[in-house]
A and B are shown apart, each in its own frame.
Chain A
Amino acid sequence: MNVIFAVVFLGAALVFLLADPEGFLPAMLAGGEKAASVCLALLASYCVWLGFFQVLEKCGLSRRLARALYPAARRLFRSEDRQALALACQNIAANLLGLPGAPTPLGVAATQKFLAAQNGYAAEMLFVLNATGLQILPTTVLALRAAAGSASPADILLPTFLATLLSTLLGAALVCFTALPLRRKKRRPA
């Protein structure tokens, strides 16, 4: 990220210097302004979903979900931490349903738990699962297509699902095969 930041920032700054020196600061401030409004939107959805997930937790449903998925999740993330795995499972479920804004707080909490336990592998796996857009119902796209007057908004469901399934499987496989073998010493070979 440091390299990307340096390269893109300096590249853009050079273009501004040569073409439009006065536009440089306004562009950065526009970015800051966008960040502020995105933060407000995120805060709103975090409030709703964190409240929702607390209720889910209190009535024991999240524990039940985690217990059902524990054997699979343990292998996928190579982790024994039940609490972190429960969060990761809920994150994946929220992604699949396309609940807007819901996966992030769960994913952040799970990642922090994985990293605190020095399990970089699990954190990477969870990140790649999220960053490859694993989703059954692309709710945003459906809404936009309907708004644009599409004859059949659901037309793209199948190709989108197949494409995102491919990217998720590919990403997970790549994480699995390129993982540093450091942590494997503790595990029995599968």
Chain B
Amino acid sequence: MKYLSLLLPLLFIALFAFALVRRVRLYDCFTEGVKGAIPLLVSIFPYLVSVLILSELFEQSGLSAALTRTLSPLFSALGIPPEIGKLVLVKPFSGSGSTALLTDLLARFGPDSYIGRCACVAYGSSETVFFISAVYFAGSKKNLARPVLIALFSNFISLLFGCLLCRLL
């Protein structure tokens, strides 16, 4: 755990030292790269806003809570603790929302409890599918139903598998 935080500084030091050996003009080069940040953000901005407004409506209208309640018998039948149902539902939409939920779950049940461990595995093994699809395919007219369904399905299967592993390991 302690060594993990060394990864990022080491990565940067190694690369920049190597670049100096290769006689790369670091400042000019780094600045050149940063130039791309604003155009990238501008291209994904409208999609990001739409997805986040949608996820906020989903959350605040109580739809997500209602859906969690409806699905919780199904979840417990499949071996997923119902406490983490909401996390599972929110994760595809919003990274910050699910991070807040995970923090809350860890505080309430403790990080080393079964529920806490399940929540961590559920969070770590899935991704913000709708968010990524909005950002990656910003501006394309491609029909995304198939890849999005594949991603959601795979994440769900891995959730089942992850909860099972938490009980065994």
Q: A interface vs B, CB < 8 Å? A: 1, 3-5, 8-9, 11-13, 15-16, 19, 23, 27-28, 30-32, 34-35, 38-39, 42-43, 46-47, 50-61, 97, 99, 104-105, 107-108, 111, 115, 120, 123-124, 126-128, 130-133, 135, 137-142, 144-156, 158-160, 162-164, 166-168, 170-171, 174-175, 178
Name the CB-closest residue of A to B99: A140
Determine the distance from Cα of A39 to Cα of B144 in the docked complex, in whole angstroms: 23
Name the CB-closest residue of B to A18: B61
Inter-subunit contact B33/A163 (CB<8 Å)? no
Q: Contacts A19-B62, A28-B53 hold; do A167 and B147 have CB atoms under 8 A apart?
A: no
Q: Which residues of A contact B26 (CB under 8 A)?
A: 55
Secondary structure class of chain B's binding surface, majority of residues: helix
Q: Contacts A28-B56, A170-B158 hold; do A141 and B124 have CB atoms under 8 A apart?
A: yes
**How many inter-chain residue pairs (CB < 8 Å) link A and B?**
287
**B140 CB within 8 Å of chain A:** yes
Determine the distance from Cα of A23 to Cα of B63 in the docked complex, in whole angstroms: 14
Inter-subunit contact A51/B125 (CB<8 Å)? no
Inter-subunit contact A164/B125 (CB<8 Å)? yes
What are 6 A-B residue pairs whose CB atoms fall within 8 Å in the complex? A1-B144, A16-B61, A52-B33, A127-B133, A131-B148, A178-B146
Determine the distance from Cα of A12 to Cα of B61 in the docked complex, in whole angstroms: 5
Inter-subunit contact A31/B151 (CB<8 Å)? no
Q: Which residues of B contact A13 (CB under 8 A)?
A: 57, 61
Q: Contacts A50-B34, A56-B15, A111-B136 hold; do A155 and B150 have CB atoms under 8 A apart?
A: no
Inter-subunit contact B154/A51 (CB<8 Å)? no
Q: Which residues of B contact A166 (CB under 8 A)?
A: 154, 157-158, 161
Interface residues of B in 1-39 (CB under 8 A from A): 1, 4, 7-8, 11-12, 15-16, 18-19, 22, 24, 26, 29-38
**B73 CB within 8 Å of chain A:** no
A147 CB → nearest B CB, Å:
8
**B48 CB within 8 Å of chain A:** yes
Q: Which residues of A contact B8 (CB under 8 A)?
A: 99
Identify the interface centre among B11, B19, B35, B61: most chain A CB within 10 Å of its CB: B61
**B68 CB within 8 Å of chain A:** no
Name the CB-closest residue of A to B109: A148
- List 12 extra interface pairs beyond A5-B50, A12-B58, A35-B45, CB under 8 A: A12-B60, A50-B37, A108-B40, A111-B137, A127-B147, A140-B99, A141-B124, A144-B106, A158-B169, A159-B121, A168-B154, A174-B154
Inter-subunit contact A35/B15 (CB<8 Å)? no
Inter-subunit contact B41/A130 (CB<8 Å)? no
Hey, what's the 0/1 contact readout for B100-142 against A, CB within 8 Å counting as 1? Answer: 0011001100111000110011011111111011111110101
